[in-house]
Amino acid sequence: MRVAYVLGNFPVLSETFVIQEICDHLEAGVDLSVIVFGSEGRSSLSLDSIHPRLRSKTRYLGVPGGKSEKLWALAKLAASNPPAVASGLKVWRGRRFSDVLVAAKLSTAKPRYDLIHCHFGNIGRTASIMRRNGFLSGRLIVTIHGFDISKGAYGVATDYYADLFENADGLLPVSNHWKSKLESLGADRNKVVVHRMGVDIDKLRPAVQPNRPGLFRLVSIGRFVEKKGHLYSIRALAKLRTSRPDLEISLVLVGDGPLLSQARALAQSLGVTSNVDFRGGLEHAAALKLLADSDAFILPSVTAADGNMEGVPVSIMEAMALQKPIISTWHSGIPELVENEVSGILVPERDEDALARAIEFFADNPNQRARFGASGRSTVERRFNARILGKELRVLYASLINDGKPDRNVNSREARYSVSSNEH
């Protein structure tokens, strides 16, 4: 089968799940292409370092980010290749300049595939427009993560996704939570199949637990954006400094982003700068090394002011694969990954006191840390194993290509993992 991944930017450090999925297909022998709207220079990761065959499979369209840059790129393309721009204008009708640029770039080849796979609904929406206008061909399947149907215009019942819902052949939410949301927004339930992200458990082998008598080390990995809840971790730590001065607790924060300076200022104002270690953005291997050397993982995710929510954070899956107990929140699809009081402790969003109590529990109970960690590893092995999920995804591909509709048997397997709202 000829499969094309259509992506906004690639490779992205915070989207290791996309990289993992593509590499798994390459290893399985899928005839794969990657079409990227953006430019290679936007990524700090090298294609050659990810997979030896990836560069030859990847095509960058070079659509810039800003509106003025898009206009300038369109003007230059019009001067050098007027027919391409004339062709691209077929998709205008009030659409964004980026859609015109994508169409113009694709018009020179109009590639044909058996199946097109997009990650994130907004990218899938563009691919749907391209396919409907003849710039792409093949069955269309789109993985829906969270922000793409929760943040801003994406998350309200408007016509933003009307084209995608009508024309996509399959919609793959990463959790039952987002399956329900898609259907409430008008997606055809016969097209919606839960397909989870996963991790390579063979590369995430639990290490010997660190021996640091009296010291409890927390690690959190995620961009410094509101939905990750980093500020609440810092506030909970400050509460424990007051209520349990006997506990020596450190918090290692891995990530970069717009709220990093605010987080640093908060730690200073609360007097916990000696307890909080800001590591900035790190390569994946370096972040995993810090995680392996931790006692527990914390990610108190929240719904941001603009509606932005998590999908099912892969960083939590990685921590569970490394047998780390989890401290997180009753948020989005997280309860479908972390079983409360079994593989982790879940608390309400923005509840600093409850977070502090969860941290205190694991700091006081090293034996419980081992029990929770073992349970988490078992969960990931059974349900979030990237190798198994990759095989299931290729079955979905085949059913779409052959029958025009996705194999929905995965839904029957997932039903028992749904979490009802009255459980918390």
Q: What is the pLDDT of residues 217-270, one digit of tens each?
A: 999 999 999 999 999 999 999 999 999 999 999 999 999 999 999 999 999 999
Q: Check if 2-62+110-191 and 201-383 are the same fold.
A: yes
Q: pLDDT (tens digit, 9 = 90+) per residue, 358-388? A: 999 999 999 999 999 999 999 999 999 999 9
Mean pLDDT, the chain, as a whole number? 92
CA 221-225-228 angle, to 5 degrees, is 50
SS3 50: helix
CA-derived radius of gyration, the chain: 22
Cα–Cα distance, 230 to 217 (Å, whole number):
15
With a CB cutoff of 8 Å and minimum separation 6, the contacts of 79 are none
Instruction: Answer yes or no: are the C-beta atoms of 240 and 356 closer than 8 Å.
Output: yes
DSSP 325-359: -EEEES-TTGGGTSPBTTTEEEE-TT-HHHHHHHH
Fold of 201-383: Rossmann fold (3.40.50)
Q: Which amino acid is at 309?
A: M
- In tens, the pLDDT along 19-69 reads 999 999 999 999 999 999 999 987 778 899 899 999 999 999 999 988 899
Beta strand ranges found along 199-325 (DSSP E): 215-221, 248-254, 276-280, 296-299
pLDDT digits (tens, 9 = 90+) for 144-168: 999 999 988 777 656 889 999 999 9
Side chain identity at residue 36, one-letter code = V
pTM exceeds cut of 0.85: yes
Cα dihedral across residues 353, 356, 362, 363: positive or negative: negative
Instruction: Record the tokens describing residue 199, joined without a space.
Output: 């991790």
* pLDDT tier for residue 419 given thresholds of 50, 70 and 90: very low
Q: What would the two tokens of residue 164 be? A: 């995608």
Name which of 177-181, 267-271, 404-408 the model is least confident about: 404-408
The residue extents of the domains of the chain are 2-62+110-191, 201-383
Helices (H), 51-168: 54-57, 67-80, 82-88, 97-106, 121-132, 162-167
- What class is the 2-62+110-191 domain? alpha beta
Q: How many residues does the chain have?
A: 424
DSSP line for 189-219: GGGB------B-GGG-PPPPPP--TTEEEEE
| Tokens (6 digits) for 69 | 């840059």
**Cα–Cα distance for residue pair 155/307, rounded to 1 Å:** 7
